[in-house]
């Protein structure tokens, strides 16, 4: 069992000390995300979802305007920006001070989200591989950057699972991205092993078993497994019934030292964090 290691993030010029694992709540501004209950596609639904997240104590709100599930509709950058604007306008109207992360792999969307809409963090499922301008853009914006491991694209990733050793290969491929980021001048990096992206069911659990090894990279670790197929397929169920499985996997990730849990269910994630920390305090 690995204890949480505190870290800091530069959020709009303010150095914020993170002293416990964080809960990142998912706000999908899309009509076609894999988990139907996470879709908020009109202003009333978005407003209700934001209120729920704040009430349950969300630490970071992660807004996504582009669904990355296989088979999802492709949309233009402009439509993605319009979806993000809809959510960010509501957040500003509510005077919410919670840090905002934007889930995008497009550099122009990232720039608009930070410079115009007032977001704080960029969460990129491709770690810069899907848009060559992303790394330079994030470096110029001077914001924290979540670099997720993936191969291929959301449409092709299921055919990109040929690893020699899943854990060693993910560490190596993330280290290459980290090297690019640091050379470009990106200082605040968070790594995400990319559960469910270009990985088979068995590879996901092998990677989970070896998750602690990713700390060799030297950066805070984000884990996003909430209601994913690695859980509901393993349990022969559906995303709607995968909360218990999600909590179990999140707890395993926390025991391996995860710094951020990206989830649909905020209250339950906080409970997992509290009980895991109580256990760690006995060590």
**Under a CB-based contact definition with an 8 Å cutoff, are residues 148 and 126 in contact?**
yes
For strand 121-124 and strand 145-148, is the pairing parallel, antiparallel, or unpaired?
A: parallel
Catalytic residue among 49, 83, 262, 274: 262
State how far the Cα of 103 lies from the Cα of 150, in Å rounded to an integer. 14
Catalytic residue among 177, 228, 267, 274: 228
**215: closest CA among 247, 165, 170, 246?**
170
- Separation of alpha carbons 58 and 265, rounded Å: 10
For residue 228, indicate whether it is catalytic: yes
Is residue 49 among the annotated active site residues? no
* Residue 17 structure tokens: 């000390």
Instruction: Characterize 51-61 residue by residue with b for buried, 16 or more Cβ atoms within 10 angstroms of its Cβ, and e for exposed.
Output: eebbeeebbbb
Residues with catalytic roles? 228, 262
């Amino acid at each position: 069992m690995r204890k949480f290691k505190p870290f800091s993030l530069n959020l709009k010029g303010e150095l914020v000390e993170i002293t416990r694992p964080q809960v990142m709540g998912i706000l999908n501004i899309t009509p076609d995300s894999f988990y139907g209950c996470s879709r908020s596609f009109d202003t009333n639904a978005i407003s209700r979802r934001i209120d729920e997240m704040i009430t349950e104590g969300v630490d970071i709100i992660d807004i996504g305007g582009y669904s990355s599930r296989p088979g999802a509709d492709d949309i233009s950058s402009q439509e993605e920006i319009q979806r993000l604007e809809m959510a960010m306008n509501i957040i500003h109207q509510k005077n919410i001070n919670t840090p905002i992360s934007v889930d995008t792999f497009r550099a122009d969307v990232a720039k608009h989200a930070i410079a115009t809409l007032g977001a704080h963090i960029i969460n990129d499922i491709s770690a810069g591989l899907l848009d060559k301008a992303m790394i330079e853009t994030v470096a110029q914006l001077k914001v924290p950057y979540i670099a997720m491991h993936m191969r291929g694209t959301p449409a092709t990733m299921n055919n990109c699972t040929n690893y020699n050793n899943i854990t060693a290969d993910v560490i190596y491929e993330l280290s290459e991205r980290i090297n690019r980021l640091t050379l470009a001048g990106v200082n605040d990096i968070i790594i995400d092993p990319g559960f469910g992206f270009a990985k088979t069911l068995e590879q996901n659990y092998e990677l989970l078993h070896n998750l602690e090894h990713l700390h060799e990279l030297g950066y805070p670790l984000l884990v996003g497994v909430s209601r994913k197929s690695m859980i509901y397929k393993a349990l022969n169920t559906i995303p709607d019934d995968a909360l218990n499985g999600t909590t179990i996997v999140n707890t395993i990730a926390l025991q391996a030292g995860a710094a951020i849990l990206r989830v649909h269910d905020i209250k339950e994630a906080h409970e997992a964090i509290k009980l895991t920390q109580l256990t760690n305090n006995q060590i």
